[in-house]
Amino acid sequence: MPDRLPPKYSLGEWTLHAISDGLYRLDGGAMFGTIPKVLWDKVKPADERNRIDMCLSCLLATRKNQAILIEAGIGNKNPEKFEFIYGVDHISSIDEELARLGMKPSDINHVILSHLHFDHAGSLTILNDKNEPVPHFPNARHHVHAIEWETALNPNLRNRASYVTRDWMPVYEAGLMDIHGEEDEYEPVPGIRVDLVGGHTPGQCTIRIEPFESGKVTVFVGDVIPTGAHVPIPWIMGYDLEPMKQVEIKELLLSQWMDENALIVFPHETRYPWAYVGKDDKGNYFAKPLDEGWLEPLRRVQWPTLP
């Protein structure tokens, strides 16, 4: 990737940066559920294996002495076969992005997670000299909702492949994990609210940043809306565990985000990191992006064919 600073957005006392932990690929059919390929292929063209390019986006929020990382990408400790299957391309990493801003992982005070799937929690740990996973952000409190934590600890046959214990268990064992279970919302840091919404996973959360003195709002939407192509309400993933709940949540939240002119931040969009929400005359929601062309050109190398 050409050297460049991560896209920046000013939100009251906060400075936000869109951070990329690289790219990966998922099956386009799985990403768009019941939507026919003739429709989604125009927006997200598939490769010869029917996979679409996805970004591993995180949001860095800083103010005074605080640095908060929302989401933690896929990391660099996964086996070669895993990287092959998911087409992981390390065009960028959290460490490189932090370095571009003059920061390092030990500067992070809080890590907030929408959920614990491997493409959101992978970089919570790194391998040490003995090849053991250890916390990547040793000075940070890590925040997750209790329902997501329980789901990750007790996966079923359908979602088992999405949870990788060594992504997050070493963080828990080091005493750095705060599991929030009393309410459907919690405030890990004043001005940042985490809302339990469910849908994609029972413990899926959105993360809302509302400055003290400014009418502006930014929401990291997690896998409620993985990419800009998933803004239209019926465009949901086959991966979603509670599909009808997902549809209902989207309807409710999109209308709210449009009314308050919130900047929404996507976890997996490659074309742009964030957008406002618009609605056309037929009542369909769409993304009004900022910082288009963010990661282009995307891949450094063409993905090799399977042996």
Q: Which residues bind Zn ion (CB under 5 A)?
A: 117, 223
Residue 293 CB, nearest distance to Zn ion (Å)? 25
Going from the C-alpha of 57 to that of each of 43, 128, 130, the distances in angstroms are 19, 24, 29
Beta bridge partners of 16: 9, 61
Classify residue 175 by its DSSP letter.
T
Alpha carbons 206 and 42: distance in angstroms, whole number: 28
Residue 119 CB, nearest distance to Zn ion (Å)? 6
> Which residue in the block uniquely carries the two structure tokens 């896209």?
7
3-state SS assignment for residue 264? strand
> Which residue in the block uniquely carries the two structure tokens 């957005």?
9
In the complex with Zn ion, the residue whose CB is nearer, 122 or 133, is: 122
Contacts (Cβ under 8 Å, ≥6 apart) of 215? none
In the complex with Zn ion, the residue whose CB is nearer, 62 or 123, is: 123
In the complex with Zn ion, the residue whose CB is nearer, 210 or 223, is: 223
In the complex with Zn ion, the residue whose CB is nearer, 97 or 223, is: 223
Residue 113 CB, nearest distance to Zn ion (Å)? 11
User: Measured at the alpha carbon of residue 111, what is the angle toward residues 122 and 91, in degrees to the nearest 5?
Assistant: 45
| Whether residue 267 has a cis bond before it, omega within 30° of 0 | no
Residue 125 CB, nearest distance to Zn ion (Å)? 18
Residue 162 CB, nearest distance to Zn ion (Å)? 6
User: Measured at the alpha carbon of residue 23, what is the angle toward residues 35 and 169, in degrees to the nearest 5?
Assistant: 100
Residue 57 CB, nearest distance to Zn ion (Å)? 13
Residue 245 CB, nearest distance to Zn ion (Å)? 15
In the complex with Zn ion, the residue whose CB is nearer, 110 or 200, is: 200
In the complex with Zn ion, the residue whose CB is nearer, 111 or 217, is: 111
Locate all alpha helices (DSSP H) within 88-183, ordered by sequence: 94-100, 118-121, 146-153, 165-173
User: Measured at the alpha carbon of residue 64, what is the angle toward residues 214 and 289, in degrees to the nearest 5?
Assistant: 50
Contacts (Cβ under 8 Å, ≥6 apart) of 130? none
In the complex with Zn ion, the residue whose CB is nearer, 156 or 302, is: 156
Residue 94 CB, nearest distance to Zn ion (Å)? 18
Radius of gyration of the chain (CA): 18
In the complex with Zn ion, the residue whose CB is nearer, 117 or 145, is: 117
